[in-house]
Structure 1
Amino acid sequence: MGFIKSLSVTVLSIFLFFGCSSSTNFKVRSNEMLATSTPAIQQDREEFNEAVNNFSFRIFRKVWDSGHKENILISPLSISYALMMVLNGAERETSTAIKNCLGLSGFSTEEINREANSLSKLVFKPDSGVNIKLANSVWSLDEIDVEESFMRILDDYYKAESRQFRGNDPNLPSAINHWIEEKTDGMIKDMIDYVDPSIIMMLVNAISFDGLWSSSFDANNSIDAPFYISADKNRIVIMMRRTDETVIFNGDNLDIAEIPYGDGNFVLDIILPHKDTEIDKIIDILSVQTFNNWINNANPIQTELSIPRFKYGYKIELNKILSEMGMEIAFGGRADFSGISRGYPLSIDKVTHQAFIETTEKGTEAAAATVVGIKRTAFIPEERFVFNADHPFIYLIREKKSNTIIFVGLVTNPE
């Protein structure tokens, strides 16, 4: 790889807020945790973690493809945890659909719970200069008999706080919003504005991240400089600058800078297309395999690093995207969430996601929350084969075990 004299961010492509470092560091930390695991459990853990990352890139591409072409911010991990909680109430085809969407079809629900719990212990742990937190909660209508096993699993594996609400409670949105705001250190506000009367449960995940750069940017070196939104359009932004050793990848029509927080267990990876490469070309090839190849071939090099300050929020309803990813059955009358409650036909009402990020000379603050609403639904029976013997037919009477035919006949005019 040639010497990169200057890396100036002209297009800040994506920040998939996942809450862990590059795959190299991730494997090191995983191996520490897996030292006492059996080979089978270790293999499951590695496959699970890869599936979680694969989901991250797949859902990011779906958000991009849905027409969101400006600033995007999602926490795939927050979405994953919310859906994994919901999975514990899903049965039959609905369970299969959620697993397929998450890329976890090879895992039992019990295995998914185990690995989700292990991953949370790995990612959400103390780090010098980084404060990262995970919180889950389940809000249920007080008149619904929720399956005890469902609530027990959410407590055991996801540490989900349990709350109840009354039907048509006008204070419910503000109560959930207050919980989310508290768990995200005030970064996610007013996420819920209305709760439909058909809602019987809300499952909520919240993630917050506050990381100081391992090597901070000197604010005195920051300058006003153009950020090129397109070839013929730019705006003046505050560009943070520093010169030091930075892990860099250069190739495949892009550069990557890995900027560490705290002890280096968490990093910001900036994927910067070369100026003659459209960003959608990079998004098209973005996958676990390509990303791992890039960062595994990155090397530390003395770099003039320039990145903009940036701060923005983002909110999206994920029903259509998740349906396109295989979860359509979960949103309709054929959904089976009898693992939540057997007294009512239930389906997902909405999956809402909201995120926030601010990056300055000191570091990054980011947060995300995912809310899954479960509602009573009108039961739509599964599609049935229609057998209507209203015209001439042949018939047999037979003994099934030996398959012996005892009678055979033809009806052309029943009397």
Structure 2
Amino acid sequence: MKSALCLCLLLLGLQVQAQHTSNLNDEQQEQKILHFPEDHTHAEGENLAHVKIAPSNAEFAFRFYKQVREEAGNKNIFFSPLSIATAFAMLSLGARSNTLSELQKGLAFNLTEMEEQEIHEGFQHILQLLNDPHREVQLSMGNALFIDKRMKLLQKFLDDVTNFYYSEAIPSNFQNSPAALKEINNYTETKTHGKIVRLLESLSPDTVMVLINYVFFKGYWEKPFNSLSTRDEDFLLDAKNSVKVKMMHQHKTFNVHRDEKLSCWVVEIPYKGNASALFVLPDEGTMSQVEDVLLKETVSNWMQSLEERNIYLDLPKFSISSSYDVKSLFQKMGVTEVFSGQADLSGIAENALLKVSRAIHKATVDVSENGTEAAAATAIEVVLLSALFPSPPHIRFNRPFLMMIVDKTTHSILFMGKIVNPAAKEA
């Protein structure tokens, strides 16, 4: 009988303290565009390895979103495509033959365009850049392998996961399931700053290894919303139903794009540091048509079309969590063998027939003003009388909208989702 390898994907959440951009200098204007570079002719050396895998990671993000969307119904969606891709890319180091091919295809990697080594070097560099302690955003991403003491990993696999993914290898006694479970949950709780307290509720008796990936992000808006302006307003769930939410307000200059073809507004709100949030507000009744064309090309076009505009912005405060059965979602995306009796994970351990029994992904996001600092601040703004100029557009996120958190240093989509009901805590 094959042993079970339990793959748990953990993403922790975004603590957003909120705001937007005022006058961008030339350097910031250049940084506002999120590229998914297609031309790799100049991508030489390890320092640009992350650039080469950026298009594939973006392609995977939107493929996975579409799969989640089919099952989510009227629920909020929020996940980290980068977390999921990193975990399965790390697992692929031990996969062979068709199991490996399925994983690579599922992650949108085309081996005619890049070598397998380049994929892992790309993730290696993303981890280096994201974990840079000098960044203004608080961002950490890491991996861990909890390994049964009876199982001996192949040295090459251990070397590769340590070298490319900086993974910790933690010996565990899975025969003592309660102790192993506590150890794993304590680890993830610590790494996610207490945000996820119980990642796993149980362990299968056959479990011999648990792979963990976590991402933690805390970003402060360049300019916070004033909490004194936040008030209760209606958020329209559909044509007939609404819920009360805390709505934040701002009248400032943002990078904005109006996509007339898709009937939606796109607003970029930058964080301190080289990251930003992209909020997409479809016109009433057009959410499906926007989701249908949610591709890396669409998002690249939006980002390149952003222009500074003075607008009135309403954005709800919200705090939501999501949990996904990635195994089920991957199987529907054509990645099946790694979860079956035909799995070839012979590159992981000596004399052990392995398969993935579970793949779980949890995410949480918190969007709010910039806390007490903003409440204590006083600002006097002088504006031109609007009678002389067209009134600034009023973009009200008071109905379902899309959001993405993008890291511009690595060209990565860290998080993405759809907010259907900001008042619902659990997806």
- So what's the TM-score if we normalise by structure 1? 0.77
1:155-191 CA distances to partner (integer Å, 9 max, x unpaired)? 1111111111113222111211111111111112201
Which residue of structure 2 aligns with residue 158 of structure 1?
165
1:45 Cα shift? 4.4
- 1:334-349 equivalences under 5 Å are 334-349=342-357
Describe the SS at the equivalent of 1:149: helix
The 3-state SS of whatever aligns with 1:327 is coil
Count of aligned pairs: 344
Q: Which runs of 5+ in 2 are unaligned?
A: 1-12, 17-27, 372-402, 406-413, 416-427
Quick one: structure 1 residues 282 and 38, their matched pair in 2 at CA, closer, same or farther if it must change by over 3 Å?
Answer: closer
Q: What corresponds to 1:184 in structure 2?
A: 192
Match for residue 31 of structure 2 among 25, 37, 60: 25
Query: Do the aligned partners of 2:33 and 2:304 also contact (CA within 8 Å) in 1?
Result: no
State whether residues 139 and 162 of structure 1, in contact with CA within 8 Å, keep that contact through their aligned partners in structure 2.
Answer: yes
Match of 2:105 in 1: 100
1:270 to 279, 296, 306: 279
CA distance in 1, matches of 2:266, 2:48: 29
* CA positional deviation for 1:127: 5.8
Q: Which residue of 2 aligns with 1:226?
A: 234
Q: Deviations over 1:228-249 (max 9, x none)?
A: 0111111111100111110111
1:61 aligns with 2:66: yes
Matched letter for residue 187 of structure 2: W
Tell me the equivalent position of 1:329.
337
Measure the CA separation in 1 of the matches of 2:226 and 2:345.
53
Q: Which amino acid in the other structure matches residue 65 of structure 2?
A: F
CA deviation map 1:342-371 (0-9, x unaligned)? 31211111110001111111189x999xxx
Quick one: distance in 2 between partners of 1:231 and 1:104?
Answer: 41
- What SS does the corresponding residue of 2:255 show, helix, strand or coil? strand
CA distance in 1, matches of 2:213, 2:331: 20
Quickly say closer, same or farther: Cα 1:274–1:351, change in 2 above 3 A: same
Whole-Å separation in 1 of the counterparts to 2:184 and 2:49: 35
Structure 1: gaps spanning 5 or more residues: 1-15, 369-415
- 1:322 Cα offset (Å): 0.7
Matched with 2:425 is none
Per-residue deviation, 1:125: 2.7
**What is the CA–CA distance in structure 1 between the aligned matches of 2:101 and 2:128, rounded to whole Å?**
26
Q: Partner residue of 1:386?
A: none
Which residue is equivalent to 2:400? none
CA distance in 2, matches of 1:126, 1:362: 22
For 1:26 and 1:318, how far apart are their aligned partners in 2? 32
C-alpha RMSD over aligned residues: 2.8
Bigger CA drift: 74-83 or 121-130?
121-130
Q: Are 2:269 and 1:259 equivalent residues in the alignment?
A: yes
What is the distance in 2 between the residues matched to 1:40 and 1:288? 25
Post-superposition Cα deviations, 1:351-399, rounded to whole Å, max 9, x if no partner, equal 10001111111189x999xxxxxxxxxxxxxxxxxxxxxxxxxxxxxxx
**CA distances 1:245-286 after superposition (whole Å, capped 9, x unpaired):** 1011101210011001113x1111111101242x22211110
Asked if the contact 1:23/1:295 (under 8 Å) is kept, the reply is no
Deviations 1:312-347 (A, max 9, x none): 111111112111222101110111000011312111
* In 2: Cα distance, 1:321 partner to 1:354 partner: 14
Which residue does 1:296 correspond to in 2?
A: 304
Instruction: Determine what percentage of the aligned residue pairs are the same residue.
Output: 23
Aligned-partner Cα distance in 2 for 1:109–1:244: 46
Worse-superposed segment, 99-108 or 22-31: 22-31
- Report the CA distance shift for 1:28/1:79 in structure 2 as closer, same or farther (over 3 A): closer
* Correspondence for 1:149 among 156, 180, 184: 156
Secondary structure at the aligned position of 1:326 is classed as coil
Q: Distance in 2 between matches of 1:40 and 1:206?
A: 27
Post-superposition shift, 1:295?
1.3
C-alpha displacement of 1:38: 5.5
User: What is residue 130 of structure 1 aligned with on the other side?
Assistant: 137
The alpha-carbon distance between structure 1 residues 68 and 185, as it changes in their structure 2 partners (threshold 3 A), is farther
Task: Name the SS for the 2:333 alignment partner.
Answer: helix
- Residue aligning to 1:374: none
Paired with 2:66 and 2:281, the residues of 1 have a C-alpha distance of 16
SS at match of 1:343: coil
Rounded Cα–Cα distance in structure 2 between residues aligned with 1:128 and 1:26: 17
In structure 2, distance between residues paired with 1:23 and 1:151: 43
Asked if residue 356 in structure 1 is aligned to residue 361 in structure 2, the reply is: no
Look at both structures and tell me which one has the larger radius of gyration over its CA atoms. Answer: 1
Q: Does 1:118 align with 2:117?
A: no
| Cα distance change, pair 298–26 in 1 and its aligned pair in 2 (3 A) | closer
Q: Secondary structure of 1:73's partner?
A: strand
Q: Return closer, same or farther for 1:64/1:45 CA change in 2, 3 Å cut-off.
A: same
